[in-house]
Amino acid sequence: MLHQKLPALLHPFGGDAPSCHQLGKAHLGGKGANCAEMAGIGLPVPPGFIIPTPLCTAFARAGNRLPDELVAALPQGLAHIEAAVGTGARFGDPDNPLLVSVRSGARVSMPGMMDTVLNLGLNDLTVEGLAQRSGDPRFAWDSYRRFVQMYGDVVLGLDHYLFEEALELLKDDRGVTLDTALSADDLRALVRTFLGIVEAETGRPFPQDPGEQLLGAVAAVFGSWQSERARVYRRLNDIPEDWGTAVTVQAMVFGNMGDDSATGVAFTRDPATGEKRIYGEYLVNAQGEDVVAGIRTPDHLTRAAREAAGAPGLSMEEAMPAVFAQLCGIFELLERHYRDCQDIEFTVQQGFLFILQTRSAKRTARAALKMAVDMVEEGLISTEEAVLRVDPQVLDQLLHPTLDPAAEREVIATGLPASPGAASGAIVLDSAEAERRAGLGEAVILVRVETSPEDIAGMHAARGILTARGGMTSHAAVVARGMGRPCVSGAGSLFIDAEARTVRAGAVTLAEGDRITIDGGTGEVMLGEVAMVEPQLSGDFATLMAWADAHGGLKVRANAETPADCRTARQFGAQGIGLARTEHMFFEGNRIGPMREMILADSTEARRSALAKLLPMQRADFGELFAVMGDLPVTIRLLDPPLHEFLPAREADFEELAQKLGLSVAAVKRRTAELHEFNPMLGHRGCRLVITYPEIAEMQVRAILEAALAAALPPSLEIMVPLVATRRELELVREIIDRTAETVFAEAGRRLSYLVGTMIELPRAALRADEIAEVAEFFSFGTNDLTQTALGLSRDDAAKFLGAYVDAGIFARDPFVTIDREGVGEFVSLATARGRAARPGLKLGICGEHGGDPDSIAFVAALGLDYVSCSPWRVPVARLAAAQAALRAGAARPA
Residues lying near a second copy in the complex (CB under 8 A) are found at 677-684, 688, 691-692, 723, 725-726, 728-729, 732, 761-764, 767-768, 785, 788-794, 796-798, 800-801, 804-805, 808-811, 820, 822-824, 826-827
Which is catalytic among the residues 20, 487, 847, 870?
847
Residue 732 Cβ vs a second copy, minimum distance, rounded to whole Å: 6
Residue 792 Cβ vs a second copy, minimum distance, rounded to whole Å: 4
Residue 679 Cβ vs a second copy, minimum distance, rounded to whole Å: 4
| 766 within 8 A of 787, measured Cβ to Cβ | no
Residue 640 Cβ vs a second copy, minimum distance, rounded to whole Å: 12
Q: Which of 810, 819, 893, 805 is nearest to 855 (CA)?
A: 819
Which is catalytic among the residues 475, 551, 584, 850?
475
Beta bridge partners of 103: 116, 248
User: In terms of CB distance, is 327 or 429 closer to a second copy?
Assistant: 429
User: In terms of CB distance, is 299 or 785 closer to a second copy?
Assistant: 785
User: In terms of CB distance, is 570 or 795 closer to a second copy?
Assistant: 795
| 852 within 8 A of 874, measured Cβ to Cβ | yes
Residue 891 Cβ vs a second copy, minimum distance, rounded to whole Å: 30
Q: Which residues contact 563 (CB under 8 A, 6 or more apart)?
A: 624, 625, 627, 628
User: In terms of CB distance, is 465 or 824 closer to a second copy?
Assistant: 824
d(CA 368, CA 515): 34
Q: Which residues contact 306 (CB under 8 A, 6 or more apart)?
A: 299, 300, 313, 314, 315, 318
User: In terms of CB distance, is 33 or 476 closer to a second copy?
Assistant: 476
CA atoms in the 13 A half-sphere facing the CB of 512:
17
d(CA 87, CA 108): 34
User: In terms of CB distance, is 595 or 725 closer to a second copy?
Assistant: 725
Residue 785 Cβ vs a second copy, minimum distance, rounded to whole Å: 7
Residue 771 Cβ vs a second copy, minimum distance, rounded to whole Å: 8
User: In terms of CB distance, is 603 or 692 closer to a second copy?
Assistant: 692
Residue 777 Cβ vs a second copy, minimum distance, rounded to whole Å: 21
Residue 643 Cβ vs a second copy, minimum distance, rounded to whole Å: 10
CA atoms in the 13 A half-sphere facing the CB of 11:
30
Q: Which residues contact 348 (CB under 8 A, 6 or more apart)?
A: 255, 260, 261, 262, 263, 264, 320, 323, 354
CB atoms within 10 A of CB 353: 19
Return the H-helix or E-strand segment holding 716.
Answer: strand 716-721
User: In terms of CB distance, is 422 or 846 closer to a second copy?
Assistant: 846
Phi and psi torsions of 637, nearest 5°: -95, 135
| 687 within 8 A of 721, measured Cβ to Cβ | yes
| 851 within 8 A of 878, measured Cβ to Cβ | yes
User: In terms of CB distance, is 631 or 797 closer to a second copy?
Assistant: 797
* CA distances for 638 relative to 567, 613, 687, 781, angstroms: 22, 18, 8, 15
Q: Please tell me the total number of residues recorded for the chain in this structure.
A: 895
User: In terms of CB distance, is 219 or 663 closer to a second copy?
Assistant: 663
Active site residue 11: no
Residue 41 Cβ vs a second copy, minimum distance, rounded to whole Å: 44
Q: Which residues contact 289 (CB under 8 A, 6 or more apart)?
A: none
Phi and psi torsions of 245, nearest 5°: -120, 150
| 390 within 8 A of 880, measured Cβ to Cβ | yes
| 677 within 8 A of 683, measured Cβ to Cβ | yes
Active site residue 400: no
Residue 288 Cβ vs a second copy, minimum distance, rounded to whole Å: 40
Phi and psi torsions of 582, nearest 5°: -60, -25
Q: Is 679 exposed, middle or buried (0-12, 13-18, 19+ CB in 10 A)?
A: exposed
Tell me the pairing of strands 778-781 and 843-846.
parallel
d(CA 804, CA 811): 10
Alpha helices in 152-255 (DSSP H): 160-174, 184-202, 210-224, 228-236
| 614 within 8 A of 598, measured Cβ to Cβ | yes
Instruction: Convert 573-588 to b/e letters by CB count within 10 Å (16 or more is b).
Output: bbbbbbbbbbbbbbbe
| 230 within 8 A of 250, measured Cβ to Cβ | no
Residue 787 Cβ vs a second copy, minimum distance, rounded to whole Å: 9
| 689 within 8 A of 699, measured Cβ to Cβ | no
User: In terms of CB distance, is 401 or 680 closer to a second copy?
Assistant: 680
Q: Would residue 203 be called left, alpha or beta, if left means φ above 0 and alpha means ψ between -120 and 50 degrees?
A: left
User: In terms of CB distance, is 352 or 801 closer to a second copy?
Assistant: 801
Catalytic residue IDs: 475, 847
